[in-house]
Amino acid sequence: MTSLLTPDTPVESVPAPARQTPPTAVERFRPQARRRLVRADFLGALGWLSGVAAVTLWLADGGATGFSSLAGTMTALGIVAGLIGMDLVLLMLLLAARIPFIDNTIGHDRALEIHKKLGKPALYLLLAHGLFIAIGYGAAEGLDPISESVSLWVNVPDMWLAFVSMALFIAVVVTSLVAVRRKFPYEFWYAVHLLTYAAVATAIPHQFSVGGLFAEGTWQRWYWLAFCIATGAALLFYRVYQPLAASFRHQLTVSRVVRVAPDVFSIEMTGRHLERLAGSGGRFFFWRFLAAGHWWQAHPFSLSAEPVLAMSAAQKSARQGKLRITVRNLGDGSARLAKINPGTKVAIEGPYGMFSTAARTRNKVVMIGAGVGITPLRSLLESTPFEPGQATVLLRGHDESELFLGQEIMSLCQARGVTLFYLTGPRSGGNHAWLPQSAAAAGFTLSSYAPHIADADVYVCGPTPWAASVIRDVQWAGVPAEQLHYERFDW
Ligand SMILES: Cc1cc2nc3c(=O)[nH]c(=O)nc-3n(C[C@H](O)[C@H](O)[C@H](O)COP(=O)(O)OP(=O)(O)OC[C@H]3O[C@@H](n4cnc5c(N)ncnc54)[C@H](O)[C@@H]3O)c2cc1C
């Protein structure tokens, strides 16, 4: 069933809402949702446990006995702050390592959100570590904190590396603050961010060469070493080896670039073994086009079509298939991509994100997209399972020319029995700013289009302020947090 609301359709004649399907006896995605919640709890518990372990290391070494004097108290606080700070840094690295278990449980966005949130506390703890140690050691030796710091730098093995590490951590955290970050190009921010690895690498030697806490042969030393090595190994495997292996396995090559609208184009690619990416509809990859002027930038773009094995027998036997992304020219890099030549090789990292069937919790589904945010909905609509009558799609644009891939989506909706609304026209103000003025003035809300929304998974993708307004309405409509899936296109 396909219904349309176009600018020519008076809003009073909004088609009857989607046929209400009776509650289905079996919610096929419930077990998957339950497993995901259990995995999320497990990850949360692991995070907290690692913090508890850091404090336990310190207690087991008699850390609490230092509180008998001022110098001892400062030193004890310094050590425990350093341990927890370093623990947070390792957790941050693991969250950014794109480990599938984490990505498929809480999603790439959420993992990076937690990563960002941990940044400041980690830095404060590491600063407190340096400060308290300088005061504590200094008080014990009758030196002021500055003279003590100089003495530590000069006399203690590997300590100068710890000072370098601290300077690097400060640089990374300061450039990550939103206000500062916006002033620099993404590549600059990214390059500075890579210094985190140098910061961690330079922080580690003094931990093993200075303290009795990690003395040779102690379990504390083994635990800490294992934690550091596991983090490094996860980063190497998932950030370096996996992307290289995926790029080599799939051998992606640009086959053609198709104009979708004046500033929007699709890049089609052929590749091998794409059946291994089945079900990735809605997810995103980092794409690196291996051509002059492009190879040094990796862009995140979502699939706008589910990967397919190509249809001819010869292509099937060669396991050849097709992939597609749709790109809006929003900056220098994306503008240049419009001119990419067929035959260009493409390296990929991914698929990432939870904007896919993997996030489903309910049989019913509502997809709401605007602008280029419509394009991942196109591939999700193609790939995610539902019965006819159980899905609703709302596409928002200023006019129909902004409903990118709208014709393809309409065909898919017709074929799969989806209720489709085109919402066009100038935006309204007030509470439902995402709706066209005419619809909001006539009293329509999200529930007018998707009456079953509280019992559906809701996927939202579009410009950030627009999406924020949709998400408010989704929440007002009584949709629980675990049923809301939102893909952000900004960084
Ligand atoms: C998960 C996700 C999925 C996306 N899917 C699509 C899509 O399907 N179609 C589409 O048109 N746009 C999509 N975007 C937005 C798109 O990545 C940016 O518009 C594009 O990278 C801008 O590059 P630029 O060089 O033209 O712009 P600039 O603003 O000049 O960007 C400079 C650099 O920043 C990088 N960059 C910009 N935004 C991000 C980001 N969010 N994360 C990491 N690096 C970034 C670019 O790759 C480029 O290297 C998506 C973004 C994200 C985060």
pLDDT in tens, the chain (491 residues): 344 544 444 343 444 544 445 555 588 999 999 999 999 999 999 999 999 999 999 898 887 888 888 899 999 999 999 999 999 999 999 999 999 999 999 999 899 999 989 988 999 999 999 999 999 999 998 899 999 999 989 888 888 999 999 999 888 888 887 767 777 778 788 888 888 889 999 999 888 887 678 888 888 999 999 999 999 999 999 999 999 999 999 999 999 999 999 899 999 999 999 988 988 899 999 999 999 989 988 999 999 999 987 767 777 777 789 999 999 988 888 889 999 999 999 999 999 999 999 999 999 999 999 999 999 999 999 999 999 999 999 999 998 888 999 999 999 999 999 999 999 999 887 777 899 999 988 889 999 999 999 999 999 999 999 999 999 999 999 999 999 999 888 76
Burial of residue 22, with CB atoms counted within 10 A of its CB: 0-12 exposed, 13-18 middle, 19 or more buried? exposed
Q: 20: which residues sit within 8 A by CB, 6+ positions away? A: 451, 452
CA of 60 to the centre of ligand 1 (A): 48
pLDDT score at 67: 85
**Best probe residue, ligand 1, of 269, 301, 304, 487 (max atoms within 8 Å of C-beta):** 301
Rounded to the nearest angstrom, the distance between the alpha carbon of 438 and the centre of ligand 1 is: 32
d(CA 302, ligand 1 centre) in Å:
10
- 8 A C-beta contact, residue 254 and residue 289: yes
> Facing residues of 457 across strands?
365
Q: Can you tell me which atom of ligand 1 is nearest the CA of 185?
A: 32
Residue 246 to residue 351: CA distance in whole angstroms? 10
Q: CA dihedral in degrees (458, 464, 470, 474; nearest 10)?
A: 50
| pLDDT on residue 317 | 73
**Within a 13 Å sphere around the CA of 62, how many CA atoms are in the beta-carbon half?**
6
pLDDT at 430: 75
- Exposure b/e, 185-218, CB count within 10 A at least 16 = b: eeeebeebeebbeebbebbbbbbbebeebbeeee
Ligand 1 contacts (CB < 6 A) are 185-187, 284, 297, 299-302, 325-328, 330-334, 353, 372, 375-376, 487, 489-491
For residues 142 and 423, give the distance between their C-alpha atoms in angstroms, rounded to a whole number.
Answer: 74
Preceding omega of 426 cis (within 30 degrees of 0): no
Q: What is the pLDDT of residue 427?
A: 85
Ligand 1, atom 13: closest residue by C-alpha: 301
Take atom 10 of ligand 1 and give the residue whose Cα is closest: 327
CA–CA gap between residue 397 and residue 455 (Å, rounded): 26
- Please tell me the distance between residue 29's alpha carbon and the centre of ligand 1 in angstroms: 31
The single residue listed with the structure tokens 């995901």 is 36
Give nearest CA residue, ligand 1 atom 40. Answer: 491
For residue 110, CA distances in Å to 87, 113, 246, 325, 482 come to: 19, 5, 24, 23, 12
Say which residue the tokens 């809701």 belong to. 458
Helix, coil or strand: residue 396: strand
Instruction: Pick from 297, 334, 460, 488 the residue to mutate for probing ligand 1's pocket: most ligand atoms within 8 Å of its CB.
Output: 334
Separation CA 448–CA 438 (nearest Å): 14
Burial of 319 per CB tally in 10 Å (0-12, 13-18, 19+): middle
